[in-house]
Amino acid sequence: MAIPIIGNIFHLNPWNLMESFKELSKKYGPIFTIHLGPRKVVVLYGYDIVKEALIDNGEVFSGRGILPLIEKLFKGLGIVTSNGETWRQLRRFALTTLRDFGMGKKGIEERIQEEAHFLVERLRNTHEKPFNPGKFLIHAVSNIICSIVFGDRFDYEDKKFLDLIDMLEENNKYQNRIQTQLYNFFPTIMDSLPGPHKTIQKNFDNVDDFISEIVRAHQKSIDPSCPRDFIDAFINKMEQEKGNSHFTVESLTRTTLDLFIAGTGTTSTTLRFALLILQKYPEIEEKIQKEIDSVVGRDRSPCMADRSQLPYTDAVIHEIQRFIDFLPLNVPHAVTQDTKLRDYIIPKDTMVFPLLSPILQDCKEFPNPEKFDPGHFLNANGTFRKSDYFLPFSTGKRICAGEGLARMEIFLFLTSILQNFTLKPAIDRKDIDISPIVTTLANMPRPYEVSFVPRS
């Protein structure tokens, strides 16, 4: 039972909402209501009910529900947090424009291969010394989306860009602090109190300023007849449709910020988890390396055409994404009209949590889901096994727009690293903890150090 104003706070674990939802689902079934403070939220638990909502009733469930902290940061602008016609127009424009600039095409594959080469050389220059590779991975992944959106990559020693990465890292660290968790329950009260949620806002504003500066530079140097990147294309769109309120400088800045953060965070975190997990299981690492040696060899870079010939490697990558369960709650949705789901009436604008964790951890689809096992994605004969339950990028109308790019980056960066190096942990393998740090929205890897030993 929800208490007025404070909602279900005493029935939920703010540090691990998923564990609370699991217990509630045992009592109430696959669809139930909670209250985050005064806000009503419908929770969908399990593959069947999520599919019924996001696929079978995709248009109705295509609204974006915004948690208070995300609302404060993004202001309902950009692709991720906007709704209605603004969202439809921005998403359509972004997908078309990103394709025009190579996303999902051979051109961007070559760009990732080039960046993977830079990353490999940077790792080689660590001379087998143990270190935390997080910043290297963030920088490499970020440079891919930067080349599409900004038209350029950043040097690995660029001080301004390194400061930006530090701020993003700090925000990730502060996500699971109690003040940050409580902000989503009591935003008005928390606005008047100090804490890490204030640092998150400050860092976000600094990243926003960084993007705004790049946008202003583009406005001064643009050649409308020859757009260099996504920002130029957006500026052209603004000029062509001056009366269109969906295409403004502010929406450009926020959309660019969306692409930058989303295009960096998911993939770099997945790669950080991957390197941690493979340190724990050297036999899996060795099997991947043997497969790469057999199919790719050492004399050329891995390419996407190799993936179908690397079923074990592909299975390991899928299992990494399933196991880490990066966005357990999913990004919240909302219903765009009054609707009925099974026996429940859901009023228009109600926030909905179509949970991903119960799908990725489904024990019938993935036996022993708490165990890291590439066999979850392998047939008995060793071929790759597809699963409808593999939904790390969500599904339906709000599926991650960068899914194709992220899959390409994870495959090419990881295979390039393992083609060239063997991972040497800084601690005993039995002491390596691959369980995630649970935060408000995302699961994060525990800090670690590793040595990259060149393969002979």
> Residue 184 has what pLDDT?
80
Spell out the per-residue pLDDT of the chain, length 456, in tens: 545 444 465 577 767 888 999 999 999 999 999 988 788 999 999 999 999 999 999 999 999 998 888 888 888 888 989 999 999 999 999 999 988 877 656 689 999 999 999 999 999 999 999 999 999 999 999 999 999 998 889 988 899 889 988 998 888 888 778 888 788 878 888 999 999 999 999 999 999 999 999 999 999 999 999 999 999 999 999 999 888 889 999 999 999 988 888 888 899 999 999 999 999 999 999 999 999 999 999 999 999 999 999 999 999 999 999 999 999 999 999 999 999 999 999 999 999 999 999 999 999 999 999 999 999 999 999 999 999 999 999 999 999 988 999 999 999 999 999 999 999 999 999 999 999 988 767 899 999 999 999 998
Helix or strand holding residue 450 (H, E):
strand 450-454
Q: Give me the residues paired with residue 450 across strands.
A: 131, 425
Predicted confidence at residue 9, as pLDDT, reads: 58
Burial class (CB in 10 A: 0-12, 13-18, 19+), 294: exposed
Supply the pLDDT for residue 10: 57
pLDDT at 5: 44
Which tokens go with 368?
A: 């022993």
pLDDT recorded at residue 176? 73
Instruction: Report yes or no: 230 and 204 within 8 Å, Cβ to Cβ.
Output: no
Nearest Cα to Cα of residue 324 among 349, 356, 295? 356
Q: Residue 363 annotated as binding?
A: no
Helices assigned H by DSSP within 361-422: 403-420
H/E run at residue 20 = helix 17-28
Q: Global pTM?
A: 0.93
Largest CA distance in the chain: 66
**CA 145/CA 112 separation, integer angstroms:** 10
Reduced to 3 DSSP states, what percent helix, strand and coil does the chain have, rounded to the nearest 5? 55, 10, 35
Question: Residue 4's pLDDT is what?
Answer: 47
Residues 6+ apart with CB under 8 A from 102: 108, 111, 148
What residues contact 84, with CB distance under 8 A and at least 6 apart? 336
In the prediction, which pLDDT does 69 show?
Answer: 87
Taking a C-beta distance cutoff of 8 angstroms, is the pair 184, 68 a contact?
Answer: yes
The residue type of 281 is Y
Q: Domains, the chain, ranges and CATH?
A: 17-454 (1.10.630.10)
What pLDDT was estimated at residue 103?
65
pLDDT attached to residue 104: 58
Backbone CA torsion sign across 286, 288, 289, 294:
positive
H helices then E strands: how many in the chain?
17, 11
Which two tokens mark 269?
A: 């975190």
